[in-house]
Structure formats: C-alpha cells, structure tokens
Amino acid sequence: MEQEIKAKIDGWLKGSYDEETKKTIQNLLDNQQTEELIDSFYKDLEFGTGGLRGIMGVGSNRMNRYTIGTATQGLANYLKQNFPNTNLKVAIAHDSRNNSDLFTKVTADVFTANGISVYLFEGLRPTPQLSYAIREFGCQGGVVLTASHNPKEYNGYKAYWNDGAQLIAPHDENVITEVQKITSIDQVNFNGDDSLITTLG
C-alpha cells in the first residue's frame, strides 16, 4: 500500500472521527482487506459540478457523514461570501436511498452550526419540490440527497443555487474550491442548532 494512502488511513484512525468509523477501518486492516482500503482512501470523493456521488462506506473516497459534512461546510462558506449581511436560508430534501435521512440530518446540522436556517422536508420528496421550495421561501441555496440512477450501494449530494437550479458556472467551480480548502475534519462544524430548522410537512 502506498505511503500516502497509509498516512490518510492513519489520519482517520487518529483524527476526530467516531469510534464506529475507526473500528470499521481497523477491522479492514486486521483482515487485510487491502483492495477495499485502497479504494476507500486513494483519493478524496470529488465534489463535482453537480455535487457528490459515490459508494457509501468509511473513507475519504466514500459517501459518509464526513465527506458530506466537508461538502456542506464548503457550500456554507461560499454562501456566506456571496450573500454577506443576509439571514441565509437553505432547503434540504432527500429520496428513499439507504442513509439518505442520516445524510440529510448531517447536512442540516452543518448548515445550522454555521448560522444558516434550514427548511427541511419531513419525508421523501422529489427533486422538483426542492427546487420549488428554494424559490418559494427565498433561500440562497439547497441540497437534495439522491443517487439518481446509480446502484443501491451509492448515494449522492446535489447542490442548488437561489434560482432553484443546480450549480452552474462560476458557482460550481467556486464551491469546489471552497470544499478543497478544507484540509482537516476539525474545520467542519457538526454541532447543529435545531432551533434554526423549520420542518416542512
């Protein structure tokens, strides 16, 4: 295994990650699941023009609370830069994928931890409804947790702008830049504030 991958694995084992995540990584090491470890850590899951999409699991190249937290922190930082002196608001929706509800909560927590109000659908919603909610409530952005047409091991995170459409230039590249600036999980604020969440029925 390459030194760089070993260092990244070591960083997750020693960093501010939950015990269950560390235990899963340690089990993969103990059972010499080298291929799985390499695929999970050889790169960072890329925040592309539409957001994130990947297989769920532990590691920097997987969909999990930490990769989603990092993406949300980057998006929150960018919204703050673009809408100064504004009471920022976002809408969040999700589909029926495994972990979509968990990932939705992580997304909401990171936004509210950054002082951004969240409109959160109480159950499953189609993407067009998220797009409508962004415009209806005057939100600056939004996120939908969905893996679209990908297989069941996958989940996804799509970012939206205040027009209710997915990010386009220059916002897509600029958000990617903000996400890439986050070099440690300690730069992500997960301590959400539920008082900033409005549930949509």
For 35, half-sphere exposure in the C-beta direction (CA atoms, 13 angstrom radius) is 0
Which one, of 182, 170, 201, 154, lies nearest residue 76 by Cα? 182
CA dist., res. 147 & res. 120, Å (int): 19
Residue in 96, 131, 148, 184 annotated catalytic: 148
Q: Which helix (H) or strand (E) holds 128?
A: helix 127-136
Could you confirm whether 100 is annotated as catalytic?
Answer: no
Across the beta sheet with 141-145, what order do the strands follow? 51-55, 154-161, 141-145, 89-94, 117-121, 197-200
What is the spatial distance between Cα 50 and Cα 198, in angstroms, rounded to a whole number? 25
Q: Which residues are annotated as catalytic?
A: 148
